[in-house]
Structure 1
Amino acid sequence: MRMCARCHCTTSHPVLVHEVHAATGPGFNVYACPECADHYPPMTDPLELPETPRRRSRLTLRVYKVNTQGAVTEDRGKVEVLIGGRTNLVPRTSAYPPCGCPRCRT
């Protein structure tokens, strides 16, 4: 016999609909009657790694060279800052001129 978490009626055929995990002690289970169990989303495994989200551009910067009059003389491309994953970071150094690798030249 358990009480349904949705309609608060007691049922002799409870359905486990959610497991609550606690960081500082034991967790508990949430039950529902068979009629109300369809209203709950399927349970997820807390130890399962979430799906990697598609990497989308969070910020796009256009890089230009301009002359003293403000006219664009050279389009140097764009730089995208991505979310949802790691990017290959350029090591920070105090060297001048800056790094000459293909990534830094673009």
Structure 2
Amino acid sequence: MIAICCRCVRETTAPVAVRYIDRTSGPGVTLHACPDCAPHLIPGPLLWEIAPSQRG
């Protein structure tokens, strides 16, 4: 999988999921970071950390 780092905006082939953003319409979005930036970010809730009753 290739993703764009949410901190440095570079492509990474080793993305680390750092946050899940729920949206009011459509599916939510998972933000990814590269391995270099991930330790500098405060992880937010990820999809599997949100209680089913709180999911859209």
Structure 1 counterpart of 2:26: 25
In structure 1, runs of 5+ residues without a counterpart are: 49-106
Structure having the higher Rg: 1
For 1:35, what is the secondary structure of its paired residue?
coil
Q: Which structure carries more helix by proportion?
A: 2
Please, what is the CA RMSD of the aligned residues?
A: 1.7
Give the structure 1 partner of residue 35 of structure 2.
Answer: 34
**Contiguous gaps of at least 5 residues in structure 2:** none
Report deviation, 1:25: 1.5
User: Where is the strand percentage greater, Structure 1 or Structure 2?
Assistant: 1
CA distance in 2, matches of 1:7, 1:42: 16
Q: What does the per-residue CA deviation read over 1:62-104, in whole Å, with 9 as the maximum and x for residues that have no partner?
A: xxxxxxxxxxxxxxxxxxxxxxxxxxxxxxxxxxxxxxxxxxx
The 4+ residue runs of structure 1 with deviation greater than 2 A are 42-46
Query: Does residue 1:4 correspond to 2:5, yes or no?
Result: yes
**Residues paired across the two proteins, number:** 48
Q: Distance in 1 between matches of 2:25 and 2:9?
A: 27
TM-score by length of 2: 0.71
Identity of aligned residues (%): 35
Instruction: Give the structure-1-normalised TM-score.
Output: 0.40
